[in-house]
Amino acid sequence: MNHKISPSLLSADFANLQKEIEMINQSDADWLHIDIMDGVFVPNISFGFPVLEHVNKICQKPLDVHLMIVEPTKFIQEVKRIGAYIMNIHYEASLHLHRSVQQIKEAGMKAAVTLNPHTPVHLLEDIVTDLDMVLLMSVNPGYGGQQFIEHSVEKVVRLKELILKKNANTLIEVDGGVNLETGKRLIDAGADVLVAGNFVFKSPDPLSTISALKHL
Ligand code: DX5
Ligand code: ZN
């Protein structure tokens, strides 16, 4: 039970956002996962900084912010301002990843790099020691409620091997299609943080669902 749970706000009831966040505050969740989309990097748009400013006022858990946008470094200061604890940027959206990671850290946040399902983990070989976390996408980014891509379990194993080989302290987070069954296999493979959207927010009792994920 050393792993962390980061419920994804994307699947919450937006008409009752305050109630949903208060539920997260009372839950066993470690973080709150925030998905920001631009309609360019991914074929969907979620929510932006004016909404998240209010989320930050209510949420008592650290914010785990996942940017599915092009040119993510343009928004480092805004992400900091909405209270992000950790800022996740996509490998596929970053031309100068090393510089971007340093800029995130200089702004006072933890830095994480996210890999799409098709991006191999060995591409992180020369940067993994600089990262606080790697976020592996186990669905194609853009929507909640998609089917888990099986290949992701094997990627966790390979990433864990790379982290150990490099003597790094990098956490492994997995995002997409997580439930009790896939979550258990991801933890056994070496994942440190599980993101879960639909499985938490669409369940009849989200508090006990979060607790079940936490006690995997
Ligand atoms: C997908 C997002 C995920 C999403 C996960 O683009 O990055 O965080 O909310 O949702 P579920 O857990 O429903 O697959
Ligand atoms: Zn996400």
Q: What is the pLDDT of residues 136-148, one digit of tens each?
A: 999 999 999 999 9
Under DSSP, the state recorded for 31 is -
pLDDT digits (tens, 9 = 90+) for 67-124: 999 999 999 999 999 999 999 999 999 999 999 999 999 999 999 999 999 999 999 9
Give me the pLDDT at residue 115, please: 98
- Pairwise CA distance, residues 40 & 46, whole Å: 12
Active site residues: 35, 175
As a whole number of Å, the CA-based R_g of the chain is 16
Candidate of 138, 143, 149, 186 to mutate for ligand 1, largest count of ligand atoms within 8 Å of Cβ: 143
Angle at 207 between CA 206 and CA 213, to 5 degrees: 85
**What are the angstrom distances between the C-alpha of 203 and each of 3, 5, 199?**
21, 16, 6
pLDDT of 1 higher than 90? no
Which segments within the chain are labelled E, that is strand? 4-7, 32-37, 63-68, 84-90, 110-115, 133-137, 171-175, 193-196
Neighbour-count burial of 120, counting CB atoms closer than 10 A to its CB (0-12 exposed, 13-18 middle, 19+ buried) = exposed
Each residue's pLDDT tens digit, 26-75:
999 999 999 999 999 999 999 999 999 999 999 999 999 999 999 999 99
Candidate of 5, 37, 146, 180 to mutate for ligand 1, largest count of ligand atoms within 8 Å of Cβ: 146
Cα of first residue to Cα of last residue in the chain, in angstroms, is: 7
* Burial of residue 205 (number of CB atoms within 10 Å: 0-12, 13-18, 19+): exposed
- Ligand 1 and 209: CB distance under 6 A: no
In the predicted model, what is the mean pLDDT of residues 165-192? 98
How much of the chain, in percent, has pLDDT values that exceed 70? 100
Residue 66 Cα to ligand 1 midpoint, Å, equals 10
Ligand 1, closest atom to CA 11? 9
- In short, whether 5's Cβ falls inside 6 Å of ligand 1 is no
Please identify which residue in the block is written with the tokens 């194993």.
Answer: 157
Task: Return the pLDDT at 193.
Answer: 99
In this prediction, residue 179 has a pLDDT band, given cuts at 50, 70 and 90, of: very high
Q: Which atom of ligand 1 is nearest to the CA of 137?
A: 7
